Amino acid sequence: LEKMADVRPPPLRSLDDFLLCSARFAVPDVHNLDRWNNRIINNLLYYQSNYFLCALGFLLIVGYFQPFQLFTGMTVVTLLFIGFVWAAENQAPIRRFRRNHPSVSILAILVASYLFISVLGGVAVFLFGIAFPIFMVLVHASVRLRSLKNKLENKLESIGLKRTPMGLLLEALGQEQEAGS
């Protein structure tokens, strides 16, 4: 709760910076996983308000057409995520796995959510309402090159001068040591 008191949402980045003219994109170097992971984490921190608005817009559209299934899907994913974070904080082997394999950890949460929801129904709503926005955010964070302003903001986040919601989420996923590098 003490961490939450200092949390400040970052500013919304301009559309020009996020997607249009000044935005620079490049395919990540798949042979250097550390560098790719660093790019994703730092873009998640820098563009988190933009990502949140995009995901929220998509969820509102899906929720308009399938409100019960979307609510069920969000509840299942949230409970599984909270359970995973709790287990990782209380079980050393899970904590090591989370830190060493963050992508596999997120995938495991999504697959477990999918399997649970498929028993309850609402698979399509889960795939399009929850997993698709996450996929789009990760694609953008993977291919968006970082600017000097992006690097400076991430440095402030990593040394604790600024606390943001994405910073707390990455910390819960065991990625706090990567941010800002």
* Residue 4 pLDDT grade (very low, low, confident, very high; cuts 50, 70, 90): low
Domain for residue 12, yes or no? no
The C-alpha atoms of residue 149 and residue 69 are separated, in whole angstroms, by 40
109-155: pLDDT as tens digits? 888 888 777 766 666 677 677 788 888 888 888 888 877 777 777 67
Domain for residue 87, yes or no? yes
Range of the domain at 142: 31-173
The reported pLDDT for the residue numbered 92 is: 84
pTM of the model: 0.68
Number of domains the chain is built from: 1
Domain for residue 47, yes or no? yes
pLDDT for 160 beyond 60: no
In 3D space, the residue among 48, 56, 101, 90 whose CA is nearest the CA of residue 74 turns out to be 56
In 3D space, the residue among 111, 114, 117, 179 whose CA is nearest the CA of residue 150 turns out to be 179
The C-alpha atoms of residue 173 and residue 87 are separated, in whole angstroms, by 11
CA 18, chain centre distance (Å): 16
* Residue 16 pLDDT grade (very low, low, confident, very high; cuts 50, 70, 90): confident
Domain for residue 123, yes or no? yes
User: What one-letter code names the amino acid at 126?
Assistant: F
